[in-house]
Amino acid sequence: MQKNLVIVESPAKAKTIEKFLGKDFKVMSSYGHIRDLKKKAFSIDIAHDFKPEYEIPADKRALVGQLKEEAAKADTVWLASDEDREGEAIAWHLYEVLKLKPEHTKRIVFHEITKSAILNAIEHPRSIDLNLVDAQQARRVLDRIVGFELSPVLWRKVKPALSAGRVQSVAVRLIVEREREINAFRTEAAYRVTALFLASDADGKQAELKAELPRRFKTKAEAQDFLEHCRAARFRIGDISTKPLRKSPSAPFTTSTLQQEAARKLGFTVAQTMMVAQRLYESGMITYMRTDSVNLSEFALNSSREAITRLMGEPYVCTRHFATKTKGAQEAHEAIRPTNMDSPKIEGTHQEKRLYELIWKRTIASQMADAVLEKTTVTIGIDGMKDEAFVATGEVVKFDGFLRVYRDSMDDDADLRDDETGLLPPLKKGQELACNEITATERFSQHPPRYTEASLVRKLEELGIGRPSTYAPTISTIQQREYVVKGDKPGEERAYNVLCLRDGKISDSTRTETTGAEKAKLMPTDTGLVVNDFLTEYFPNILDYNFTATVEKQFDEIAEGEKKWTGVLHTFYDHFHPSVESTLAAKSAHKAGERVLGTEPKTGKQVSVKIGRFGPVAQIGAAGEDEKPRFAQLRKDQSIETITLEEALDLFKLPRTLGEQDGQTVSVGAGRFGPYVHGFGIYVTLPKEIDPMSVTLEQAVELLKAKQEAEAKRHIKRFDEEPDLEIMNGRYGPYISYQGNNYKIPAGIEPADLSLASCLELVKLQEEKAAARKKRPARAAKAEKPAKTAKAKK
C-alpha cells in the first residue's frame, strides 16, 4: 500500500527526489504536459467563451493510465510540477485527468533539488492556483488562435503548408529587416592614423610605443596634409594618467546565454548545445538546462566558495547574488550549473566534457572576485598642432580575479579590435619621442551583422519572445518552412589606400582586403520576404515586436486575479478575427509578393515572378488566357525582389536541345542542383566554369561519356554468395557498400584483392567502433590524451 505519490515533470528529477524521500513516497513523472488542445483541430469553442477542447495525446495515454493507477492507491498525491504558469497548468490537468480529490491532493513547489528544500516544501503545501492556470489557458488559446487562423491565410495567399505564429513570425521579421538594413547600407571610408614611436628607457634600451589618433580623416587630402605636417614635427609626451579599472564576472548560465557562449567558444549549434546539455542533466552532472534564472542555490554558493578557496585561495572568493533582468522571466529553476562544484572535469564524450567545463568555469567565475586592472593613457603632442594628439593606452592586470578561469568571449558581431595592449614602457611627461612611422589607412564602415542562431536567441530573449524550451525548436521551424536559410556569405575583394610616412618620405599605395565574409548566418529566402511583407502589412499588431510583451502583461493580470482570461481573449479576438476575415475576402488580382517585370517581346505576354507551389518561379502569360502560362523556377542565387526582365526571360531558354549524338538527343537543363546536361539516359551536373547558355554539343557529349566511364568503373567487385555486399569506387576512392551502409577500406589495401571474408571483417570492425562511440564511454576511454587538455594561456 502506497502512502504518498509525488508527481514531477521530469523523470531525471523524479529519480533524484525519490532518494531523498524514503519508502513512504513513490515519485513519478508526467513528462511535461499530459493534455493539450487537439493536434489537428482548432479545438476552441469561440461562441462559448473560448472553451478549450482538451485531449490526452496518444503517446501519453499509457503514462496517464499508470499515473491513475498509482494515484488511486495513494493516500495523498503531491503535485510537484514547476512553479510557473506552465507548471501550474500541468498540476491542474493532472488533478482533472486523474480525478483527484481535494482532500487527498497537495500542491508543492521547490526551487532546488536538495533534501532540505524538498522536505521544506512538503511542510508547506498549498492548493492549485487557478488564476495562474487561467493565465496559461489564455496563453495557450491565444497562440492557437493566432497560429491556426493566420496559417490558412498564407496557404491561400502565398503557398500551401506555410505557417505563422506569435513567435516564429517575429523571428523571421528580425532576420528580414536586418537583411534590408544591410541592402540599404552604404559604406563610408575614413582614414585611421596610427603611429609607431620609439622611447628610450632608463637603461637606454629602445622600446616601441604604438599610438593612435582619436579622430579619423574623411578625405585623402586631409590625411595627406596631416602626414605632411608630421614630417617636420617633433613629438612629445603630454599627459600621463593612470586609472584603476575593475571587471566583474557575468552571471551564471541561463539557456540563452549557454547557447550563445557554446556557439562562440565551442562552435555548437543551438540544437547541439541542448542535446549535449540534456545528456549531462540526465547523467546528473548539471542542473536543469531549460531555465531563465541566474539564481544559484545556497548549496551551490557554499560549495563554490569552498572550491575556489581550495583551488585558488581565499582572495579569489566573492559570493554574489545575481538578479534576472530579462522580461517575463519565470524563474522556476536555478541557473545552469554543475551539480557538484568540486568536479572541474568529468568523464564523457568530447562534447560533453567541453560543455561541462564551460558551465563549471562560468559558474565558478560568477562567484569570484573582480579583476583589478590599471589603465594608463598617454597623450603624445605634435609640435605646431594644438588640436591633434596621439593617444597610447596600456592595460596591466593587478589582480586577475575571475579572469583566472573565465573570459567572456567577444561578440561575433563586435568590430575586430586590435587594441590589445600590455604594459607601456616607462615614460616621463615632456619626454621627446622618435617617430618610426605614421600610417594613414583607409577604413570602411561595416554593415550590421546578420544574425547567427545564437544572436537571434539573444534578441528574442531581449524582446521577451519565446521560452528556454522553444528557442531551439523555433530556429529549426523557420528553417524548415524555408523562410530562412543558414549559410555562408563569401567576402568581397576591396581595394584600400594606405599612406605611410617613414624616413621623411610619404608613400602612397593601394592594397586589397577581403571583407564582409560571414559564416553560418541566417538569411531570408524569397518566401520569407514575401510572407513577412504580407503579414506586416495585414497583421501589423501580431508582427509588432512588442506584441508578446503586451499580452504577457495581460496574462500577468490574469494570474494576479485582476482580469478574467476570457475577457482578455474577447478583446483580442474581436479585433483580430475581423482582420483575418477581411484579408481572406480581399480578392486581389494576384498573389502576395507577385511582381510584374514586363512583357515578352515575341508574344507581348506578361512576364511576372511570384512564390509558386514549389518556391520562387517566373511565369509568362496569365492564368485564364487561351494558352496555359509557362513556368520556370528561379535559380538559387536569384530573388524575386531583384530579378530583371532579361534574367527572367533567360530562364525560359532552358531546357534546350543541343543536338543529336549516336542517335540520342542531348539537352541542357536547370534542376534542383543547378544546370545539367542530359543524354544517353544519364545526367551530369555542369561544372561552374561552363555556362549553360553557351555550352556546345561537343562539351556535353564529353561530360556524358566521362560520367559513363566513371559509372563503369564504379563497381569494382561483387560476390555471388553475398549480393548485399559490393566493392565500389566513389569520388573519395574505393569503399565497401553493405546493406545500405558504406565502409571505408584502409589505405594500403588493394580493393580488388579483398575476399568476402575480409570485407565482412572490415564491416564488423567499423560497426563495433561506431557502437562504442555512441555509448557513453564510461569505461571505453582508457588512456586520456594528455596533449588535448593543456590550455593555451598567456
- For DNA, the closer of residues 22 and 740 by Cβ is 740
Half-sphere exposure of 40 (CA within 13 A, CB side): 1
In the stretch 703-722, what mask flags binding to DNA with x, by CB under 7 A? -----------x--------
Q: Minimum distance between the CB of residue 632 and DNA, rounded to whole angstroms?
A: 7
Nearer to DNA, 230 or 703 (CB): 703
Nearest-angstrom CA–CA distance, 229 and 223 = 10
Q: Does 466 bind DNA (CB under 7 A)?
A: yes
* Residue type for position 109: V
The interface region with DNA, picked from 7-15, 299-307, 339-347, 562-570 by CB under 7 A, is 7-15
Among positions 242, 644, 685, 755, the unique one binding DNA when judged by CB under 7 A: 685
Minimum CB separation of residue 700 from DNA in Å reads 13
Give the closest residue to 286 by CA, choosing from 217, 356, 210, 237. Answer: 356
Helix (H) or strand (E) holding 153: helix 130-157
Q: Would you say 322 or 631 has its CB closer to DNA?
A: 631
For the record, the C-alpha cell of 32 comes out as 511535461
- Please choose, from the candidates 156, 129, 122, the residue with its C-alpha nearest in 3D space to the C-alpha of residue 20: 122
* 238 near DNA (CB under 7 A): no
Element spanning 183, H or E: helix 168-184
Contact 55, 44 (CB under 8 A): no
Smallest separation, CB 439 to DNA (Å): 43
Residues 368 to 427: which contact DNA by CB under 7 A? none
Binding window for DNA (CB under 7 A); candidates: 95-103, 385-393, 463-471, 486-494: 463-471
Q: Please report how close the Cβ of residue 644 comes to DNA at its closest, in angstroms.
A: 20
Catalytic residue among 281, 288, 356, 573: 288
Helices (H) and strands (E) in the chain, counts: 21, 30
| Alpha-carbon span 576 to 581, nearest angstrom | 9
Selected binder of DNA within 449, 612, 751, 777 (CB under 7 A): 612
Q: Are 594 and 610 in contact (CB under 8 A)?
A: yes
474 is a site residue for DNA (CB under 7 A)? yes
Rounded Cα distance, 284 and 340, in Å: 9
* Least distance between DNA and beta carbon 286 (Å): 12
Segment near DNA (CB under 7 A), from 61-69, 82-90, 209-217, 377-385?
A: 82-90
With contacts defined by CB under 7 A, how many residues of the chain interact with DNA? 84
Q: Which of residues 18-47 bind DNA (CB under 7 A)?
A: 31-33, 36-37, 39-42
Our CB check for DNA shows the closer of 239 and 581 to be: 581
> Residue 740, interface with DNA (CB under 7 A)?
yes
Using alpha carbons only, what angle is made at residue 480 by residues 774 and 30, rounded to the nearest 5 degrees? Answer: 60
d(CA 759, CA 81): 54
Among positions 168, 256, 287, 554, the unique one binding DNA when judged by CB under 7 A? 168
Q: Is the Cβ–Cβ distance between 224 and 506 less than 8 Å?
A: yes
Task: Report the site for DNA in 563-582 (rule: CB under 7 A).
Answer: none
| Among positions 398, 553, 567, 614, the unique one binding DNA when judged by CB under 7 A | 614
Which residue in 157, 290, 362, 450 binds DNA (CB under 7 A)?
290
Q: Which helix (H) or strand (E) holds 251?
A: none
Q: How far is the CB of 103 from DNA (least distance, A)?
A: 28
* Shortest distance (Å) from residue 466 CB to DNA: 4
Q: Is 468 in the site for DNA (CB under 7 A)?
A: yes
H/E element, 463: none
742 near DNA, rule: CB under 7 A: yes
Chain residues 242-281 in contact with DNA, contact rule CB under 7 A: 278, 281
Interactions with DNA, residue window 132-161 (CB under 7 A): 140, 143-144, 146-148, 151-152, 155, 160-161
| Least spacing, CB of residue 84 vs DNA, in Å | 6
**Pairing assessment for the beta strands 492-502 and 741-744 based on DSSP bridges:** unpaired
* Residues 541, 467: Cα–Cα separation, whole Å: 21
Between 360 and 738, name the residue whose CB sits nearer to DNA.
Answer: 738
Q: Are 479 and 204 in contact (CB under 8 A)?
A: no
Q: Does 288 bind DNA (CB under 7 A)?
A: yes
Distance (Å, whole) CA 642 – CA 302:
60
Binding to DNA (CB under 7 A) within 628-657 occurs at 628, 631, 633
Distance CA 651, CA 642 (A): 15
Answer yes or no whether residue 10 interacts with DNA by CB under 7 A.
Answer: yes
Find the DSSP H helices in 247-294: 255-261, 270-282
Cell numbers at 790, concatenated = 593543456
The answer to whether 65 contacts DNA (rule: CB under 7 A) is: no
Please choose, out of 194-202, 431-439, 444-452, 467-475, the segment that lies near DNA by the rule CB under 7 A.
467-475
Amino acid identity, position 64: V
Instruction: Please give the Cα distance from 276 to 255 (Å, whole number).
Output: 12
CA distance 575 to 29: 40
The correct pick among 613, 779, 791, 793 for binding DNA (CB under 7 A) is: 613
Among 528, 675, 679, 692, binds DNA (CB under 7 A): 675
Question: Cell 498564407 appears where?
Answer: 154
**Which among 405-413, 558-566, 673-681, 777-785 is the span making contact with DNA, rule CB under 7 A?**
673-681
Q: Is 166 in the site for DNA (CB under 7 A)?
A: yes
731 interacts with DNA by CB under 7 A: yes
Q: What is the helix (H) or strand (E) element at residue 395, kind and residue range?
A: strand 385-399
Task: Examine residue 495 and tell whether it contacts DNA (CB under 7 A).
Answer: no
Q: Is residue 54 near DNA by the rule CB under 7 A? A: no
Q: Is 683 a catalytic residue?
A: no
The answer to whether 225 touches 357, Cβ cutoff 8 Å, is no
**The one among 52, 125, 674, 777 contacting DNA by CB under 7 A:** 674
13 makes contact with DNA (CB under 7 A): yes
CB 763 to DNA: min, Å? 13
Residues 115-134 that bind DNA (CB under 7 A): none
Q: 372 — phi, psi (to 5°)?
A: -110, 125
Q: What's the one-letter identity of residue 340?
A: N
CB 777 within 8 A of CB 348: yes
Site for DNA in 83-102 (CB under 7 A): 84-86, 90
CB of 613 to DNA, least distance (A): 4
- Structure-block grid coordinates of residue 660: 543529336
Q: Which of 732, 752, 778, 794 binds DNA (CB under 7 A)?
A: 732
Cell digits of residue 689: 566554369
Cis peptide leading into 655, omega within 30 of 0?
yes
Catalytic residue numbers read: 288
